[in-house]
Amino acid sequence: MQQPKIWLSLAHMSGREMDFIKEAFDTNWVVPLGPNVDGFERDLSEYLGGSRHVVALSSGTAALHLGLILLGAGKADEVICQSFTFSASANPISYVGATPVFVDSEPDTWNMDPDLLEEAIRDRIRVTGKKPKAIIPVHLYGMPANMERIQKIAARYEIPILEDAAEALGAEYRGQKCGTLGEMACLSFNGNKMITTSGGGALVCRTREEAEMAKFYATQARDQAPHYQHSKIGYNYRMSNICAGIGRGQMTVLQDHVDRRREIHAYYHDALLGMPGITLLTNPTDEYRSNHWLTCVLVDPAVAGYTREDLRLAMDAANIETRPLWKPMHLQPVFADAPYYGNGVSESLFDKGLCLPSSPVLSEADLERVVEVFRDRL
């Protein structure tokens, strides 16, 4: 008989969510604003260290879109983006009519390579005569990017950083939370993330003025007037008070989720240690503290004797969901014409990498089932 399915990354409810939702219904706050939205933004700001202003939105993608608008990116601009990521990091660049410029990854963090970033900035200035409008590094799979070097380069050329921290809530770099390391940042609360609001996101801003401007654009850019008047194009991007209620409940277990995903990574790390041809994405130094949203392995077929695809199919046969690493943006047909500064790292990661089940609800027996596939089924 087939064993129950083990999923890649499932939501886990604290049990408090319904209290916040019920309160919203009882008080008739069933709208895209209200006490849960305010409370969720406050909780997130506190969790991030208290120095940032958080705006709850309908998705992480919406957050990146508004971030780019606030940074003034538009037609005839270029925006530098990490190539090794999910398409939602790059799509908003096209929404504002700008051109994405893709930069490859470094082998340690799998995130934006600072040397290539600087090469790309210099070359774009040479080719177009102007600076890129923003830099979007991604903390992929919860691993912080090499922010010290990226911040230095961004400061040298005076280009703002829009962090994509969609996968990195709870991760830290040099003791500081991801999401507070750039001018602005996006968070995601999609169903498979560290916490969920069923679907949702947030823009993290440095100043209150930026946060107010984000709220303005997120609520159809309505001017101050008794009638409806608009001087800018607006969006309907605000989070509903119901979704924010789920978020408030989820905040009560966020740190538990981070701790559990780190435990799961440690379990895989110990169990797979010494297995020929298998390596894990791990914190390169003490300065990095990944939330280990997903534990990722690389399979070197020359040593392991099997490929990443063999591993994925063996997991599938054991009723275990896994997923290849993100296919880099410079290889995506939709971005075929975009400039790219590369070194082959992300292509190799895509060839060799697989994400393992990492939900906080996984039991030791579930984890053992995954490890058993490596040991006995290949």
Ligand X SMILES: Cc1ncc(COP(=O)(O)O)c(C=O)c1O
Binding mask 85-104 for ligand X (x = CB under 6 A): xx-xx---------------
Assess 164 for contact with ligand X (CB under 6 A): yes
CA pair distance 235, 220, nearest whole angstrom: 5
Q: Which amino acid is at 184?
A: M
Smaller CB separation from ligand X, 188 or 283: 188
Smaller CB separation from ligand X, 237 or 288: 237
Assess 346 for contact with ligand X (CB under 6 A): no
Q: Which amino acid is at 91?
A: N
C-alpha separations of 291 from 40, 254, 347 in Å: 20, 11, 24
**Interface residue with ligand X, options 166, 204, 218, 246 (CB under 6 A):** 166
Smaller CB separation from ligand X, 88 or 243: 88
Find the part of the chain contacting ligand X (CB under 6 A) among 56-64, 172-180, 217-225, 345-353.
Answer: 56-64
Helix-helix angle 60-70:208-218, to 10 degrees: 120
Assess 36 for contact with ligand X (CB under 6 A): no
Smallest separation (angstroms) from ligand X to the CB of 2: 30
Phi-psi region of 196 (alpha: psi -120 to 50; beta: other; left: phi over 0): beta
Smallest separation (angstroms) from ligand X to the CB of 189: 7
Smallest separation (angstroms) from ligand X to the CB of 58: 8
Nearest position to ligand X, beta carbon: 60
Assess 60 for contact with ligand X (CB under 6 A): yes
For residue 352, give every residue at least 6 positions away whose Cβ sits within 8 Å of its Cβ, in sequence order, or none: 298, 299, 300, 301, 308
Assess 190 for contact with ligand X (CB under 6 A): yes
Smaller CB separation from ligand X, 58 or 272: 58
Q: Which helix (H) or strand (E) holds 60?
A: helix 60-70
Q: Which residues pair with 57 in a beta bridge?
A: 201, 238
Assess 196 for contact with ligand X (CB under 6 A): no
**Interface residue with ligand X, options 39, 114, 201, 328 (CB under 6 A):** 201
Binding mask 122-141 for ligand X (x = CB under 6 A): ----------------x---
Q: Which residues pair with 295 in a beta bridge?
A: 356
For residue 134, give every residue at least 6 positions away whose Cβ sits within 8 Å of its Cβ, in sequence order, or none: 67, 68, 71, 73, 79, 80, 159, 160, 161, 162
CA pair distance 137, 359, nearest whole angstrom: 25
**Interface residue with ligand X, options 45, 188, 358, 359 (CB under 6 A):** 188
Q: Which residues sit at the interface with ligand X, rule CB under 6 A?
A: 59-61, 85-86, 88-89, 138, 164, 166-167, 188, 190, 201
